[in-house]
Amino acid sequence: MTLSTPLPLFGALVDSAAWPALRIILHLAFFAAAVIILWRIWTRLAGAKARPGQTLQLFGALPLAVVAAAFLGVLLYQASWHLTGLFRPEFVAFMQSHDRREFNPAHRIQRGRILDRHGQVLAESQERDGRVYRVYPYGPAFAHTVGYSDPRFGAIGAEAAANAQLNGATPEALASWGELGRQLLTKDKRPRGQDLKLTLDAELQLLALQRLGSRHGAVVLLRPADGALLVLANNPAFDPNRLSPGLFSGPAAGTPLLNRATQGLYPPGSVFKVVLAAAAIESGFSGTLPCPAGGYTTSSRYPPIRDHDYYTAAKAGRTWGGHGNLNLTTALVESSNVFFAQLGVRLGHDSFVGAGERFQFDRQVRLYPGTDRYGNLSTGRLPRFARNDLYGLAQASIGQGRVLATPGHLATIAAAVANQGLAMRPRLLAQEAPAPLGRYMAEPTAARLAEMLRKVVTTGTGRGIDGPQLAIAGKTGTAQNPRGAAHSWFIGFAPAAAPTLAVAVLVEHGGYGSSAAAPIARDLLLKAMELENAR
Amino acid sequence: MNAAAGLAATWDLRQGERELLLSCLGCIALGFVLVLGSEHAAGRQLTASAVLPLLIYGLSLIGLHLALVLLRFRGDQVLTAVVACLAGFGLLAQYRMGAFAGTLGVDNPELYLIPAGFAAMLLTAAAGANGRYRWLAKGLWLWAGVSLVLLVVLLVTGTRFRGAVYALGFTTPTEVLKITVILGLAAYLEQHARALARWHPRFPLLPPLRALWPLLVFWMLLLGLLALQRDLGMIVILSVTLLVVLVRATGRVGYLGYGLLAAAGVGALVLTFFAHGQRRVEAWLDPFQDPTGDGWQILQGLSGMYAGGLWGEGFGNGSPEYTPIARSDFIYAVIGEELGFLGCVLVALFFLILVQRGIMIAGQARTDFGRLLAAGLTTVLAVQTLLNLGGVTKAIPLTGITLPFISHGGASLLTTFTAVGLLLAISDGPPGAARRPARTVKRPPAAGATPPPAPAPAPRPVERPARPRRRPAAAKTP
């Protein structure tokens, strides 16, 4: 066939350096040809109109006008996406997360930086070889909170929650919108978004991670008065600079994607006694309960619940005489399981469920604006037992059994005690106004509980972290779990007299709360106070 | 000798069409080179058969024009050119979406869709030219029957896919309804237009039910069957056409009012009782509620358009494969992505000219049947185009119908071409008149045909006795 000669020629032309320019010329020529056809038709029709008997009558003009108006309406509406789609923040966010067309201008927006409270850069866009990349200078340290924004994998965390602002598209700033639209139309400019400031403190976050070391766990530090989160640290984490499909497929070792601080559900162990103590004070409980070494059980069929002193003594080959009669304060200071198991049963199911509701268990608290469920803080899970299941209630009362809570929620509980019983909604964006989350307990209850928690650190299970520099109040926890050694917990606040910081530390399989979690909390609180006093 | 002279006259007469078709061919060829180049740049091997679609398209245009000249066809010339352009855009878009990929070569049936369309158009135009299309009016009950039987057969034998019903080989024979129903409608209205225009003299809101009921019953059956097939797009297209043609035939705007009322009622019914319809409306109102589910297709289409911007990436250089079902319902999004907003405006303008020609032909037809048929077919084309464009651009909810001439789909393509063939046949003018340009044809029948003021029709005296009975009742009320 004769076609066989021109085709290789054409192929060579396409492969040559002239093709990109030629392509544009062809493109324009195509448009020009279409316009010429339309022009010819137009002149022909305009000429025909002059003929008698061919004018459009009412029956012709009106429908044509209606159809033309409909076409015009569709085209105008289309233009509001097609040309000025940038005016629709949700649309731009969708394209950045879900559009795999690499030539889409939405991918070339130079997003604003994400900063910590002192202006340290946690995420920024850098241009290399005409393409814009998102860079996270601290690597995995802020991975869960800052999140990531990637053309292949979408966006999560603050990157997703403040997408519109980071793209520069806050609807209030109409002038900058126009500029961005103009730049996007020309397709080769790099529009710049607006910066986003978080409440986090990079220095404290790094300290928390450094103290966690290779151990898995989570650290949360916040200001009780306004809910601003200073630290939200998780280990392990992933590196948002190096996302790969493997990260998202299948169960990875250590589940680095899990935001342990906000989504990790752990048995709270003894730190849950704070909730029960609050319920006891509010119900008017006073007096003492007997706490023998033999422990406490609701039925002879179930093994007794004992204090950890019993096991320590047994391990050392000693015998332990038991605590004797304990009141609420001494029981909390000694972290007596026997006392709180009895107390829970005595208060009853209704009181337990009521406390769970007041402390907002089984809820999702939003950390960012927007509705992304991955950005929420899960509070925890309280079991529902049958009314005759007293043993379950006894176990739940010491934070074991089926009680689960996230480190983030336990931090807000500590913060509520520090803030006269009022829990503030934890927040990450500096621009968001503080808002109350709920009243967890009455003011006098909080005051009494705060005194007790201070005693835990001065004379009780937490005395290991007591020091002259800072008056810390808090509660240790050692949570039994089926997967290995006990989880180590500490929740608390400082300074005890006028708290400005609240903390929750979880070290997975860290053993005693006093030995693993409490020292991290102390170091973090000391450093935070030091930074606060320095500024 | 006379025949040769006539031929030469037609050759001269259709010079405009020739020029338009040739520029159209040039335009499509430019686009074709662009697509071929990007295919090659993307690493696909070009063989000689890669040029076949353009070759066949060009031959079809030439064949169409020569055949029209040979037939001494006097009908519309712009219409054929507009259809050729739109079909050319469709060819480019389908080529770009991989319709002609593979090793089939000349055996690829896709190659012959557009020529088949042109052939159908030509045959219809030739058969109906010279006023012969009026014979179609005699088949009133045939058209109605064929429409309903087709729907029933399809319901019984068809297979469901994505909610809709398809016949063997994933064809959609219901497309034929866009012609048969309109034929039946035009035929019925031609016979009963006068009766239908005579609304109740005392209760001006009461339409003449006696003349209306056969139409209403037929329409109920039709819509019921279509509703069973969940063919919402077809329901809207046919119902709007019914109203337009009714008003056109009777001059009574009241039908439009009742139509709007009925539409509102049916719409509310669908929204309250069908979760399917509700979800579509929700996906339309707020696609971001479920961006990766219900909103995915529309948002991907819009993303592609946004990426295309004002000028587009050029044919073959976009990535429309990320938009689901881009080849059929969302082909407009492909054009928006690769030719940009300007390309969309061009396509819309071509469609607008198509509608203008249809309206013109309806206005110039010499018979009521021709007028109504042309108006009906034009309305079908206009509504179908607007529903598709509006759906893809999120201006209205998605109805899942094709874009005439451009979307992929044999039945839809053939039907649309046939409809244009009918329009061409109507535009050919009245029979008998010498083979001269239409403008020189005076209207001798106009004076003679006006019916002499007829003596009072017979029924009137029969009606009269009823009146006195009503009068006292009316007198009592004030």
Angle, helices B2-13 vs B52-70, to 10°: value is 130
Residues A274 and A489: their CA atoms lie apart, in Å, by: 13
pLDDT of residue A57: 54
Decide if A31 is inside a domain: no
pLDDT of residue B196: 87
Decide if B317 is inside a domain: yes
A407 and A522 in a single domain? The answer is yes
Report the 10 Å Cβ neighbour count for A153.
15
Whether chain B has a CB inside 8 Å of the CB on A39: the answer is no
To 5 degrees, how large is the angle CA A148–CA A153–CA A159?
Answer: 25
Distance from CA of A85 to the nearest CA of B (A): 7
The number of domains in chain A is: 2
Distance from CA of B226 to the nearest CA of A (A): 25
Decide if A134 is inside a domain: yes
Residue B41: which residues within 8 A CB-CB, separation 6 or more? A14, A15, A19
A149 and A211 in a single domain? The answer is no
Residue B73, pLDDT > 60, answer: yes
Decide if B461 is inside a domain: no
Decide if A326 is inside a domain: yes
Which residues of B fall within a CB distance of 8 Å from A104? 303, 306-307
Lowest average pLDDT, out of A263-267, A495-499, B122-126, B436-440, goes to B436-440
Decide if B147 is inside a domain: yes
Residue B306 and residue A85 in contact, taking contact as beta carbons nearer than 8 Å: yes
A179 and A309 in a single domain? The answer is no
A317 and A399 in a single domain? The answer is yes
Residue B86 and residue B351 in contact, taking contact as beta carbons nearer than 8 Å: yes
Q: Which residue has the tokens 């400005």?
A: A500
Decide if B476 is inside a domain: no
Decide if A2 is inside a domain: no
| Amino acid in the structure at residue A89 | P
Whether chain B has a CB inside 8 Å of the CB on A74: the answer is yes
Residue-wise pLDDT for B215-227, tens only, equals 999 999 999 998 8
- Select the residue from B83, B300, B306, B339 to test the A interface by mutation, using most A Cβ atoms within 10 A: B306
A167 and A206 in a single domain? The answer is no
Residue A218 per-residue DSSP state? E
Which residues of A fall within a CB distance of 8 Å from B305? 78, 81-82
Q: What is the mean pLDDT of chain B?
A: 83
The number of domains in chain B is: 1
Angle, helices A273-282 vs A443-459, to 10°: value is 140
A116 and A213 in a single domain? The answer is no
Decide if B142 is inside a domain: yes
Which residues of B fall within a CB distance of 8 Å from A67? 352, 355, 382, 386
Residues B356 and B370: their CA atoms lie apart, in Å, by: 16
Q: Summarize chain A as % helix, strand, coil (round to 5).
A: 45, 20, 35
A267 and A120 in a single domain? The answer is no
Q: Which residue has the tokens 């009606």?
A: B463
8 Å CB contact of A30 and B248: no
Decide if A25 is inside a domain: no
Please give the share of chain B, as a percent, with pLDDT higher than 90: 47
Report the 10 Å Cβ neighbour count for B458.
7
Distance from CA of B78 to the nearest CA of A (A): 7
8 Å CB contact of B386 and A74: yes
- Compute the Cα dihedral for A78, A82, A87, A89 and give only its sign: positive
Distance from CA of A249 to the nearest CA of B (A): 19
Decide if B333 is inside a domain: yes
Distance from CA of A486 to the nearest CA of B (A): 41
Q: Which is more confident, B77 or A184? A: B77
Decide if A66 is inside a domain: no
Tell me the pLDDT of chain A (535 aa) as tens digits: 445 567 788 888 888 888 888 988 999 999 999 999 999 999 888 776 545 444 445 556 888 999 999 999 999 999 988 887 777 777 887 887 788 887 787 777 778 899 999 999 999 988 787 677 889 999 999 999 999 888 777 788 888 888 877 886 554 555 555 655 555 555 544 556 788 999 999 999 999 999 999 999 999 999 999 999 999 999 999 999 998 888 888 676 778 888 999 999 999 999 999 999 999 999 999 889 999 988 899 888 999 999 988 988 888 888 888 888 999 999 999 999 999 999 999 999 999 999 999 999 999 998 887 656 667 899 999 988 888 899 999 999 999 988 999 999 999 999 999 999 999 999 999 999 999 999 999 999 999 999 999 999 999 999 999 989 999 999 999 998 888 899 999 999 999 999 999 999 999 999 888 899 999 999 999 999 999 888 7
Residues B164 and B256: their CA atoms lie apart, in Å, by: 29
Distance from CA of B169 to the nearest CA of A (A): 33
Residues A185 and B426: their CA atoms lie apart, in Å, by: 46
Residue B105: which residues within 8 A CB-CB, separation 6 or more? B47, B49, B52
Decide if B100 is inside a domain: yes
Q: Which is more confident, B466 or B102? A: B102
Whether chain B has a CB inside 8 Å of the CB on A70: the answer is yes
Computed on alpha carbons and rounded to an integer, the radius of gyration of chain B in Å comes to 25
A223 and A366 in a single domain? The answer is yes
Whether chain B has a CB inside 8 Å of the CB on A7: the answer is yes
A363 and A291 in a single domain? The answer is yes
Backbone angles phi, psi at B105, to 5 degrees: 60, -135
Angle, helices B410-427 vs B78-96, to 10°: value is 170
Nearest to B281 by CA among B397, B163, B401, B400: B397
Report the 10 Å Cβ neighbour count for A184.
22
Whether chain B has a CB inside 8 Å of the CB on A18: the answer is no
A75: nearest CA in chain B? B345
ipTM (interface pTM): 0.87
Query: How many A×B Cβ pairs under 8 Å?
Result: 211
Residue B316, pLDDT > 80, answer: no
- Select the residue from A37, A90, A92 to test the B interface by mutation, using most B Cβ atoms within 10 A: A37
Which residues of B fall within a CB distance of 8 Å from A12? none
Q: Which domain-ending residue is among A197, A218, A245?
A: A197
Mean pLDDT on B257-269? 89
Which residues of B fall within a CB distance of 8 Å from A59? 248, 362-363
pLDDT band for position B458 (50/70/90)? very low
Domain span holding position A108? 85-197
Distance from CA of A99 to the nearest CA of B (A): 7
Tell me the two tokens of residue A487.
């989880």
CATH number, position A193: 3.90.1310.10
Nearest CB partner across the interface for B34, out of A27, A90, A185: A27
Residue A432: which residues within 8 A CB-CB, separation 6 or more? A369
A259 and A311 in a single domain? The answer is yes
Helical spans, DSSP H, in A283-389: 308-315, 328-334, 337-347, 349-358
8 Å CB contact of B299 and A44: no
Which residues of A fall within a CB distance of 8 Å from B237? none
Residue-wise pLDDT for A455-482, tens only, equals 999 999 999 999 899 999 999 999 988 8
Q: Which residue has the tokens 């004992």?
A: A306
CA dihedral A172, A175, A178, A183 (to 10 degrees): -110
pLDDT of residue B464: 37
A370: nearest CA in chain B? B289
Domain span holding position B41? 2-433
pLDDT of residue B292: 80
Edge to edge, the sheet with strand A484-494 lists A229-235, A217-222, A501-507, A484-494, A473-481
Residues A236 and A195: their CA atoms lie apart, in Å, by: 28
Nearest CB partner across the interface for A56, out of B37, B312, B363: B363
pLDDT of residue A398: 93
Residues A286 and B367: their CA atoms lie apart, in Å, by: 102
Nearest CB partner across the interface for B46, out of A11, A79, A90: A11
Decide if B334 is inside a domain: yes
A184: nearest CA in chain B? B309
8 Å CB contact of A33 and B319: no
Q: Which domain-ending residue is among A160, A180, A197?
A: A197
Whether chain B has a CB inside 8 Å of the CB on A49: the answer is no
CATH number, position A242: 3.40.710.10
Mean pLDDT on B251-273? 86
pLDDT band for position B343 (50/70/90)? very high
Report the 10 Å Cβ neighbour count for B286.
13
A326 and A416 in a single domain? The answer is yes
Mean pLDDT on B325-351? 92
Which residues of B fall within a CB distance of 8 Å from A26? 30, 33-34, 37, 314
A277 and A399 in a single domain? The answer is yes
Which residues of A fall within a CB distance of 8 Å from B300? 98-99
Q: Which domain-ending residue is among A170, A197, A224?
A: A197
Residue-wise pLDDT for A15-69, tens only, equals 888 888 898 899 999 999 999 999 999 988 877 654 544 444 555 688 899 999 9
b/e A323-351 (16+ beta carbons within 10 angstroms → b): beebebbbbbbbbbbbbbbbbbbebebeb
8 Å CB contact of A14 and B305: no
Beta bridge partners of A154: A150
- Select the residue from B303, B305, B389 to test the A interface by mutation, using most A Cβ atoms within 10 A: B303
pLDDT of residue B450: 41
Whether chain B has a CB inside 8 Å of the CB on A29: the answer is yes
Tell me the two tokens of residue B405.
């001439």
